[in-house]
């Protein structure tokens, strides 16, 4: 594809020779002639002067005489479009349900959905159109999957929620009689688990993307277009607004309300309700402006400890001197 055509289809402006042809994509560091790459992090701007790429997606204001540029407001999104245009999406080795998958007779699967071998789709499950259910996915009974949902290998949808009633030192299992609803355009990463509700539904909102090794507890409701990164654990009965981002290994306590447009840094522990448009970090999670101050002081604790010991010694010496005077 010529650069001018790629620019037209991605909404970019060509700076340089639009007649140059490109056929694939690569990283800024590894790209060769004929390939396209991107620069979105200023940290790597020096590589713009050394890359061998035939063209680089960049933000407005970025310039170089070293190579051709494709300027647009969001160069990473432009590059994402280029990947699709030049490489396309994954080609599946078969259509429909693979004969080595198990689909209960009472389940329904929409047109264009691909089910890989080893997948289990239980009784009365409903799966929409154009979904991809990869190998060894397990979808328990009664779960509802929308359109264009991708579930990666080993994920489990609809397993029992972690519900037990302690009595006389014994944990008595509470039957989990709810279900899971996965709305349209959701992606669920490998080996993640979405637990069914004790009553009602666990809901994953439209357009939400869930990474690998994530656990979503029973009865939790995640709003539209969330980003849940690897190894996040969300306890039961949590309600999350739209466009919430939880970075890797964030933990969320149960029965909390997390507002819209909340962002939480890696390894944070959310133990209280969170208002809209709040950025958090730390354990326990705190507003990021406070968290940065806390952690700046945290790394100075050994130094502060030595200073306190020195001050205590000085106070003791002064006190002893007063006694001598008396």
Structure tokens at 153: 């290998």
Please check the confidence at residue 323 and state whether its pLDDT lies above 80.
no
pLDDT tier at 177, thresholds 50, 70, 90: very high
pLDDT at 93: 94
| Segment 13-71, tens digit of pLDDT | 999 999 999 999 999 999 999 999 999 988 999 999 999 999 999 999 999 999 999 99
| Segment 142-164, tens digit of pLDDT | 999 999 999 999 999 999 999 99
pLDDT at 299: 87
Average pLDDT over residues 194-204: 97
pLDDT tier at 165, thresholds 50, 70, 90: very high
Q: Which segment of 82-86, 180-184, 309-313 scores lowest on mean pLDDT?
A: 309-313
pLDDT tier at 320, thresholds 50, 70, 90: confident
Please check the confidence at residue 223 and state whether its pLDDT lies above 80.
yes
Looking at the chain, the whole-number percentage of residues with pLDDT higher than 70 is 98
| Segment 77-106, tens digit of pLDDT | 999 999 999 999 989 999 999 999 999 999
Average pLDDT over residues 263-275: 97
pLDDT at 193: 98
Please check the confidence at residue 318 and state whether its pLDDT lies above 70.
yes
pLDDT tier at 325, thresholds 50, 70, 90: low
pLDDT at 48: 93
Buried b vs exposed e over 10-32: b needs ≥16 C-beta within 10 Å?
bebebbbebebebeebeebeebe
pLDDT at 244: 98
Q: Are 244 and 262 in contact (CB under 8 A)?
A: yes
CA distances from 291 to 28, 249, 284, 287 (A): 33, 17, 10, 6
pLDDT at 322: 63
Q: How far apart are CA 43 and CA 58, in angstroms?
A: 13
Average pLDDT, the chain: 95
Q: Which segment of 222-231, 284-293, 314-323 scores lowest on mean pLDDT?
A: 314-323
Which residue numbers are catalytic?
218
In the block, residue with structure tokens 């014994």: 170
pLDDT at 317: 85
Distance of CA 203 to the CA centre of its chain: 16
pLDDT at 295: 86
In the block, residue with structure tokens 């949808």: 157
151: closest CA among 109, 199, 104, 198?
109
Enclosing H/E stretch for 308: helix 301-325
pLDDT at 42: 87
Average pLDDT over residues 180-203: 98
């Amino acid at each position: 594809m010529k650069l001018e055509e790629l620019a037209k289809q991605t909404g970019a402006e060509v700076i340089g020779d639009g007649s140059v042809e490109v056929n694939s994509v690569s990283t800024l560091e590894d790209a060769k002639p004929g390939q396209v790459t991107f620069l979105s992090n200023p940290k790597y701007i020096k590589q713009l002067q050394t890359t061998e790429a035939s063209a680089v997606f960049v933000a407005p204001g970025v310039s170089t005489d070293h190579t051709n540029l494709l300027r647009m407001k969001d160069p990473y999104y432009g590059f994402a479009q280029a990947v699709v245009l030049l490489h396309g999406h994954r080609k599946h080795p078969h259509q429909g349900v693979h004969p080595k998958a198990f689909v209960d007779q009472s389940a329904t699967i929409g047109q264009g959905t691909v089910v890989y071998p080893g997948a289990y789709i239980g009784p009365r499950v409903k799966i929409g159109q154009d979904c991809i259910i990869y190998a060894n996915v397990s979808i328990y009974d009664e779960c509802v999957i929308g359109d264009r949902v991708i579930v990666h290998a080993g994920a489990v949808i609809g397993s029992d929620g972690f519900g037990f009633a302690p009595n006389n030192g014994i944990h008595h299992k509470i039957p989990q009689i709810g279900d899971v609803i996965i709305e349209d355009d959701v992606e669920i990463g490998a080996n993640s688990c979405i637990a069914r509700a004790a009553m009602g539904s666990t809901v994953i909102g439209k357009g939400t993307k869930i990474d690998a090794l994530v656990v979503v507890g029973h009865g939790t409701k995640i709003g539209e277009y969330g980003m849940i990164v690897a190894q996040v654990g969300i306890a039961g009965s949590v309600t999350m607004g739209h466009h919430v981002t939880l970075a890797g290994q964030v933990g969320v306590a149960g029965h909390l309300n997390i507002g819209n447009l909340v962002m939480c840094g890696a390894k944070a522990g959310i133990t209280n309700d969170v208002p809209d448009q709040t950025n958090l970090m730390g354990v326990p999670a705190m507003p990021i402006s406070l968290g940065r101050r806390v952690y700046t002081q945290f790394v100075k604790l050994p130094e502060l400890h030595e200073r306190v010991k020195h001050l205590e010694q000085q106070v003791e010496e002064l006190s002893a001197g007063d006694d001598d005077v008396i």
